[in-house]
Structure 1
Amino acid sequence: MATRTLEDALNIIELLRKKYSLGVSELSKELKLNKNKVFRILTTLELKGIVELNPETGKYKLGMNLIKLEDAYIKSQDFIKVARPVLRSLRKEINETIYMAIQHKKDVIYIYEEPARKGVVVNSRLAQRFKAHKTAAGKVLRKAKKEIGFPMEKTILPEEEIIEIASIVRDEFYNPIAAISVIAPIHRVNQGKEKIIEEKLISSAEEITELLAPAFSLD
């Protein structure tokens, strides 16, 4: 019974992640669960700060404590510690915002950021989820599962006036574990700078991959 209740709670959290805001009746219908059971689970999750109730609409959304849990998970990833000096060096070389992202199901989550030291910067993606197929980071992670080496992907979002260029980091078994990307305003990335970014991204990806191999082998 406890296992089933936990599974139901996780399904509620996952559904709220997708739909953002739902009431008891909507959750009950979507998950085919009794309304009273849904309400009891929501009450427990609300006490723990995992969900929040909007008293005006009577609907629930994910709470701040879930964000803290996700942030704690991100910080627990050892490969970020290994990659950090390389990413900082890359940011200093090109002076644009650098990210590391991981894939989770059909999304990518940006788990580390080295912001550009310029007056015009893009909105931060740190700890945010995006559909993988809409980002260079997501596209290159999928591509890297089928290709060898360090492939590149580029995504231009004219409506946001930004460009993202990404490559991947591999573990000791040569599996892609994260993407590293540069995100910058389009007007700052001409053809010449784009080529420089691609070269330095691949160089940084190779360096992090080499550093990670002994780190993983010690586990």
Structure 2
Amino acid sequence: MRHTSAKTPSVVDRVLDVLGAFTPERPALNLSELSRRAGLPLSTTHRIVGELTRRGALERQEDGQYRIGLWLWEVASLSPQGMGLRESAMPFLEDLYEATHENVQLAVLDAPDVVYVERISGRQSVSVVSRAGGRLAAHATGVGLVLLAHAPAEVQEKVLSRPLRRYTPRTITSPEELRRVLAAIRRDGFVISDRQVELVSLSVAAPVYGPGDTVVAAISIVVPVEGAEPRTLVPAVRAAARGISRALGAPRASGQPTH
């Protein structure tokens, strides 16, 4: 059950519980599975799923399982942190990929996680667990560390007060260490996140600024640890981030005076 209120769940709560039952690991579910994962009676689930399917938010397959429908994707694409950001960023992400042929990522913060808006990968790129539309814990990723470093203090404290998930032995799980890293990112303007999510890769990440000169996203390049010289990648990543910031109208990226 996805809702957290102590009150009786509303119709909207129930609909969101059904939609929230789908995960990257389980993108297709039958009615009984949806009922169980959403924590709703089968009759309620049947009614909601029928209406969502009629509206195109869900699609029923020949085997009786349901998947997220195209109509829901169309609605989600209207998010200002989604397609608009992606469209501005894509030329710079593509340039960065062509220059390196490594994984290039664009993400936004939804604390305590990051949501990946776009990822470009080649067949020869190191394997990564991120995907467009997917989430990872912010404290363990390069893009997440950048976004946390520039997030409001209350958002940072919310993350720091929670247990910090360990993905590998190198994942930052100490609040004190995380505070030091965030301070260094604000000072340096980038971060090298070394083997925090997978032991075979590291990332170099930098912030993307919006019209108000606030950080609205972050980009990163993910490369194999073996043979990597991450500091040589910093200028290219920061240049791409500045280009996206300029496209979004950030004064600091276009040479305009800031106030």
* Fold in common (TM above 0.5): yes
How far is 1:63 from its partner?
A: 2.8
Equivalent residue for 1:40? 47
Query: Could you tell me how far apart the structure 1 residues matched to 2:105 and 2:24 are?
Result: 24
The number of residues matched between the two structures is 201
Counterpart contact for 1:166–1:201, Cα < 8 Å: yes
How far is 1:180 from its partner?
A: 0.4
Equivalent residue for 1:98? 104
**Where do 5+ consecutive residues of structure 2 fail to align?**
1-9, 154-182, 252-259
Which letter does structure 2 place at the counterpart of 1:36?
S
Query: Could you tell me how far apart the structure 1 residues matched to 2:250 and 2:34 are?
Result: 49
Say what the alpha-carbon RMSD is for the aligned residues. Answer: 3.7
Equivalent residue for 1:170? 209
**Normalization by structure 1: what TM-score?**
0.69
Which letter does structure 2 place at the counterpart of 1:120?
Q
More helix by share: 1
How far is 1:171 from its partner?
A: 0.7
Which letter does structure 1 place at the counterpart of 2:68?
G
Query: Could you tell me how far apart the structure 2 residues matched to 1:196 and 1:70 are?
Result: 40
- The 1:24–1:92 alpha-carbon spacing in structure 2 relative to 1, beyond 3 Å, is closer
- The 1:127–1:71 alpha-carbon spacing in structure 2 relative to 1, beyond 3 Å, is farther
Equivalent residue for 1:213? 249
The DSSP-based 3-state class of the residue aligned with 1:179 is: strand
Counterpart contact for 1:103–1:132, Cα < 8 Å: no
**Normalization by structure 2: what TM-score?**
0.60
Query: Could you tell me how far apart the structure 2 residues matched to 1:46 and 1:123 are?
Result: 35
Counterpart contact for 1:166–1:180, Cα < 8 Å: yes
Counterpart contact for 1:96–1:183, Cα < 8 Å: yes
The DSSP-based 3-state class of the residue aligned with 1:102 is: strand
More strand by share: 1
Which letter does structure 2 place at the counterpart of 1:183?
V
Query: Could you tell me how far apart the structure 2 residues matched to 1:166 and 1:99 are?
Result: 9
- The 1:69–1:37 alpha-carbon spacing in structure 2 relative to 1, beyond 3 Å, is same
Equivalent residue for 1:24? 35
- The 1:115–1:74 alpha-carbon spacing in structure 2 relative to 1, beyond 3 Å, is farther
How far is 1:26 from its partner?
A: 5.0
Which letter does structure 1 place at the counterpart of 2:249?
A
Query: Could you tell me how far apart the structure 1 residues matched to 2:16 and 2:110 are?
Result: 15
Query: Could you tell me how far apart the structure 1 residues matched to 2:248 and 2:216 are?
Result: 11
Equivalent residue for 2:3? none
TM alignment of 1:1-219, pairs within 5 A: 4-17=10-23, 20=26, 22-27=33-38, 30=39, 35-48=42-55, 50-51=57-58, 62-65=67-70, 68-69=73-74, 72-73=77-78, 77-116=83-122, 120-123=124-127, 125-133=130-138, 134-145=140-151, 148=186, 150-156=189-195, 159=198, 161-189=200-228, 193-213=229-249
- The 1:210–1:201 alpha-carbon spacing in structure 2 relative to 1, beyond 3 Å, is same
